Structure 1
């Protein structure tokens, strides 16, 4: 190889290797300082796409876990109020049992009725005031609540909580016999013996045009298949039906002697009760639809009325127990969701870490190598730059 001045191939070679080494050292410094193996798409395009997807899932699961915890708070708020509702209903039932004793005179039964009226007002207040973050839970306006407990948009990422059975305001309406503005229909029962055991259908229509039709289960008479013996017995069977009690209330209309002559059915949603299908053909269940009869509610004026009240209250206690059981089951489900989300979040975070995080020990080895090569390359570049100094000897 000849001696040249214009082109120093050894210096160019040393500079190229030194530049590559400095580039590697710069990348190692970036990874060591950030702790990330992938700092830009050029580092690992496929790994970046996967890790960003995992990051979205981890973030979604974090928020979903908080949503589930909020769901538990909502259910605890509702269930806590229902606990007091059940206590009130138990007290009302005790009063109904007390009123069933004919040792009570009219004044005593009136005093019992006064306490019951006060307790039902408290039920109404609980139904209207129980809320979470402004959302009322027990007044019947929120029949269901949806909670996002997953990171995705599919149905499996949501849990819907049914609150239709937790209508405390409706329970209060059923106990008082009528809600403000509620419209009902009076049905005369001319021949009680024709009311054989069977199902009955009642339909209500609200001012907004919403129609609710409910068919009861097979109504059982107390005698056991011999047919209903009184209007009170039939009304008690209606009130004990869960589907009926969730949408309607029933009271007995009486003549001057206190004998039951018919029933008054009112819709808890304020709708007009327009039709009624009797359990047996030819039974005269009819009357002027759209009238607004005075609410009778629980009757404590006689032993028979108190017995009917006990049955009605038992039905409401059962409804509240069912609603509380459902809320408790969903609460346990939320707790399982939170545990599952924590495990999923941990595993997805680990997967993202394996893809994106820097192995500090390995990267330090690379950095040390690049650092030594940089120093060596710098020294060799200096030597290469001095390699053509021998030409000066020829020029002397």
Structure 2
């Protein structure tokens, strides 16, 4: 091997290897500091593209989960208010049955009518004031044609399906993408159209003078109330089914999001065991490289022994 001074190949080789070791050490420190294996596109170009798509889906899925839970909250609000309407209708029915008994005089029936009327007014007030996030959910003022009238015909399966299909209907968006497949329609009911809260329906007033007339009037009221209870029963069953559906939807979205993030983590996140071992390795190599560079620089001095 020739001995030269101008070109120190040993030092050049040591510098090249030290440079590579320093880059590896810097990368390991960057990954250990950030917790990410991919900190820039150059770290893993294809992996970055995959991770970006997964993040997009995960963020959208998490919002869809919130949408689903918010929609469940809206249905629960609606169902809770409807429960109170049912309780009031049951009390109105109870008063109607009571007024049919011959042991009560016309004044007694007038007193029953007073409570009956107050319950009618309260059902109307509940229908007008029950809102979710400022939107009326018990009348047609917010969702228009997506709200059905309180009749048997309008609460059949076919009529509910038609009401749910109109553009004005309430829809829960439960997907991370757009499109109708990611929306669940929730048809509502206009409680203001319940015949049971019509002011003309009653169980007794001063205009009634005979027991037979009182019985006839109470019988009409009883029929109207029973119809209202049946209509509400159909709608509540539909809302309950939709709430159960939304709960399954949310559970599925949570499962999808969990597995997407597990896959993303395997691509993007730092394996601390691997990187800490790599950092220790590069630190030792760097120290050894510095020692060899120093040794290579000293080798050139041996030429001086030939010139003595």
Match of 1:296 in 2: 200
How far 1:353 sits from its partner (Å)? Answer: 0.9
Residues of 1 paired with 2:105 and 2:38: CA distance? 87
Residues of 2 paired with 1:20 and 1:103: CA distance? 104
Give the conservation status (yes or no) of the 8 Å contact 1:176–1:298.
no
Residues of 2 paired with 1:112 and 1:40: CA distance? 78
Match of 1:368 in 2: 280
Match of 1:359 in 2: 271
Match of 2:176 in 1: 151
Q: What is the correspondence of 1:1-396 to structure 2 with a 5 Å cutoff?
A: 1-101=1-101, 104-141=104-141, 142=143, 143=147, 144-164=169-189, 167-171=190-194, 174-177=195-198, 296-298=200-202, 300=204, 301=208, 302=213, 303-396=215-308
Give the conservation status (yes or no) of the 8 Å contact 2:61–2:175.
yes
Residues of 1 paired with 2:32 and 2:120: CA distance? 70
- Once the two structures are superposed, residues 94-132 of structure 1 have per-residue CA deviations (whole angstroms, 9 ceiling, x without a partner) of 222333446655434433333222111111111111112
Point out the more displaced range, 11-20 or 368-377. Answer: 368-377
Unmatched 5+ residue regions in structure 1? 178-294
Give the conservation status (yes or no) of the 8 Å contact 1:85–1:168.
no
- Once the two structures are superposed, residues 218-243 of structure 1 have per-residue CA deviations (whole angstroms, 9 ceiling, x without a partner) of xxxxxxxxxxxxxxxxxxxxxxxxxx
SS in 2 for 1:147: strand
How far 1:84 sits from its partner (Å)? Answer: 0.9
When residues 310 and 9 of structure 1 are mapped into structure 2, their CA distance, relative to the original with a 3 A threshold, is same
Match of 1:246 in 2: none
What's the Cα RMSD here? 2.1
Residues of 2 paired with 1:103 and 1:389: CA distance? 129
Residues of 2 paired with 1:21 and 1:96: CA distance? 92
Residues of 2 paired with 1:296 and 1:358: CA distance? 74
- Once the two structures are superposed, residues 346-374 of structure 1 have per-residue CA deviations (whole angstroms, 9 ceiling, x without a partner) of 11111111111122222233223222221
* TM-score of the aligned structures, taking structure 2 as reference length: 0.81
SS in 1 for 2:41: coil
Give the conservation status (yes or no) of the 8 Å contact 2:117–2:202.
no
Residues of 2 paired with 1:108 and 1:15: CA distance? 108
Residues of 2 paired with 1:64 and 1:137: CA distance? 21
Unmatched 5+ residue regions in structure 2? 148-168
Larger strand share, 1 or 2: 1
How far 1:72 sits from its partner (Å)? Answer: 2.1
SS in 2 for 1:42: helix
Higher relative contact order (CA 8 A, sep 6+): 2
Give the conservation status (yes or no) of the 8 Å contact 2:99–2:112.
yes
Aligned residues between the structures: 275
Give the conservation status (yes or no) of the 8 Å contact 1:35–1:358.
yes
How far 1:60 sits from its partner (Å)? Answer: 2.2
How far 1:337 sits from its partner (Å)? Answer: 2.2
SS in 1 for 2:138: coil
